[in-house]
Amino acid sequence: MRRGKDRWYRAYPGWIRWVLIGWFALAILAPFVANERGLVIRYREEIHFPVFHQWGVDAGIIPHQDYLRFRLHEHPQDYQILIGPLIPYRAETLDASNSNYRSPLGHQEISSWYYRHWLGTDQLGRDTLAGLVYGARTAWWVGMLATALSIIVGLFFGLISGYYGNDRAFISRGSVLAGCVVLLVVLSEDIGWSHQSTQTLEVLLKWGLLIGLFLLLLFGFHRVPSLKKRIGVPIDRMFLAVIGWFKSLPGLVVVMALLPLFKHTGIWSLALLIGLFRWPLIGQYVRAEMLRIRHLPFMESVRLLGLSDRRILIKHALPNVWPPVIVNAAFGVGAAVAVESALSFLGLGLGLDQVTWGTLMNAGRNYFPAWWLTVFPGIALFIVVYVCNVLGDRWLAQYNS
């Protein structure tokens, strides 16, 4: 069955692959592309590798060295660059002699062309191009993490709701009863006893044990004959209701309203929030696909063979619901990047300690003549979103045909 549509996901314009590879490379190699330290330098007649060294210092492997404090554009003495990074600035590097919005076209206080700010600087003298490089890195991680999260959650709930539908999931009365009992015990345990320690590990262990017990009772109760009578659980209907809640809300607004929950907004928390509002979409497509293949002969036969539900879902259903997931993932990456930069633009997302495309654009609003701060990050964002959309569109068209 999959033969006929084999490799449909290869059908997209070739340049898209190169844009994506370039983006990925920037995300991984940003410190080597744009850095205020040299890759290979000679300092006091000795060869050093400051960028790698700094990486080791950050990882806590090697001690800090004297020469790490030198910045290329300050031309330290006894310091010779053997191999320099492409851009001799980091996103946060302050070039004091080129502060106050130097235009990319105008005059810049530089000693050689190597130190030129090709895309200008902002008020503090930070290089826009370096900002773009590091912004690409942030955008990549937020986009990918958010999409990965939404895929995991969406697949899980979509598969389950499509497979069980409204008629296949049952729960015995005994299990409901036992579940209530266990929950009560858990709550009373947590409330009623005076207890000594709130060590995280202990609490986690306790809860893990109790939840494990709860699950065991939930799924193992049908072996006890007296409470065997089963009640149907309309999983599909429940899932649709939850999806309805998510779909009727403007995601950006709710993400904004939830952001203050995190004391420090990092890549992970942002990805978590964005993924939270993306999974229903993926779950919805997975569910539809699952409903479609649910009664196909191969699914019926593996059910008749008596395979366990988990095995059927993972081994036989999962490979067949991938197409809508990856089509949606392509759109999702673009949307996540757009939301991330919108939040940074509004001053809510990352950006207090990290330069992103959004914060650059925000800086451009403060000083109208600095068009380069608005134009270039916008172009970067536009390219990424456009590429993701084209990819998704092509896949969708190919898959539908």
Partner 1 sequence: MVIRLLGMLTTLLVLACALFALYQYLPGDPIDELAGGARRDQESGFNPRLYAERYASLANRYGMDQPYFYFSVTPKGLPLSFLSIPDHRKRALWKSWYRQLGDADLVQSWWESLEGLAQSGADPGLISAARTALRERDLNLVLRAFEILPASADIPPSIAEQMVRIQNALQQSGRWLGIAFYWHGPDNQFHHWVRGLWTGDFGRSMHDGRPVTRKITEALRWTVSINGLAIVLALLIAVPLGVFLAAFASKRVARVIRFLLYAGYAMPVYWLATLLVVLFTSDTYSMDWLPSIGVQYGYASASFADRFIHSLGQLVIPVFTLVLTSLAYLTRQMEKSVEQQLAAPYLVTAQVWGMPRGKRIWKYVLPNALFPIITLIGTLLPVAIAGSVTLEFICNIPGMGRLLLDSILTKDWPVMFYVTLLIGMVTLLGILLADMIYALVDPRIRQNGFA
Give the binding site for partner 1 (CB under 8 A).
187-188, 191-199, 241, 244-245, 247-254, 256-263, 334, 338, 341-342, 345-348, 361, 364-365, 368-369, 371, 374-375, 377-378, 381-382, 385-386, 389
Smallest distance from the beta carbon of 131 to partner 1, in angstroms?
15
Q: Using an 8 Å Cβ cutoff, are 357 and 344 in contact?
A: yes
The nearer residue to partner 1, 174 or 334, going by C-beta atoms, is: 334
Minimum gap (Å) between residue 385 Cβ and partner 1: 5
Task: Supply the minimum distance, in Å, between the C-beta of residue 378 and partner 1.
Answer: 4
Residue 117: phi and psi, rounded to 5, are: -85, 100
Rounded to an integer, what distance in angstroms lies between the CA atom of residue 396 and that of residue 55? 41
Joined together, the tokens standing for residue 105 give 């076209």
Q: How far is the CB of 51 from partner 1 (least distance, A)?
A: 32
Strand partners, 172: 230
Dihedral (C-alpha) 141, 142, 147, 149: value to the nearest 10 degrees?
A: 90
Nearer to partner 1, 113 or 245 (CB): 245
CB of 377 to partner 1, least distance (A): 8
Nearest residue (CB) to partner 1, 84 versus 378: 378
Q: How far is the CB of 76 from partner 1 (least distance, A)?
A: 38
The residue (of 4 and 260) whose beta carbon lies closer to partner 1 is 260
Considering the complex, what minimum distance in angstroms separates the CB of residue 171 from partner 1? 23
DSSP bridge partners of 170: 232
What is the DSSP code string of 104-123? Answer: SSS----SSGGG--TT-B-T
Token readout for 137 is 């890195």
Any bridge partners for residue 81, and if so which? 41
Residue 247 CB, shortest distance to partner 1, in Å, is 8
Tokens of 57: 């210092």
Q: Tell me how far, at minimum, the Cβ of 153 lies from partner 1, in Å.
A: 17
Which residues have C-beta within 8 Å of that of residue 294, sequence separation ≥ 6?
162, 163, 165
In angstroms, what is the minimal distance from the CB of 260 to partner 1?
A: 5
Q: Tell me whether residue 243 or residue 271 sits nearer to partner 1 (CB atom).
A: 243
- In the numeric block, which tokens belong to residue 197? 């320690």
Strand partners, 83: 40
Nearest approach in angstroms of CB 170 to partner 1 is: 25
Tokens for 348?
């809510």
Looking at the Cβ atoms of 83 and 379, the one nearer to partner 1 is: 379
Q: Which is nearer to partner 1, 63 or 250 (CB)?
A: 250
Task: Compute the Cα dihedral for 82, 87, 90, 94 and give only its sign.
Answer: positive
Angle at 58 between CA 55 and CA 63, to 5 degrees: 90
260 vs 297, beta carbon nearer partner 1 = 260
Element (H, E) at 162: helix 128-164
Q: Among residues 197 and 226, whose Cβ is nearest to partner 1?
A: 197
Instruction: Return phi, psi of residue 94, to 5°.
Output: -95, 115
Task: From 367, 360, 400, 350, select the one nearest 381 (Cα to Cα).
Answer: 360
- Cβ-contact 324, 285 below 8 angstroms: yes
CB 359 within 8 A of CB 294: no
Task: Report the candidate in 357, 355, 362 with the shortest Cα–Cα distance to residue 126.
Answer: 355
**DSSP for residue 86:** S
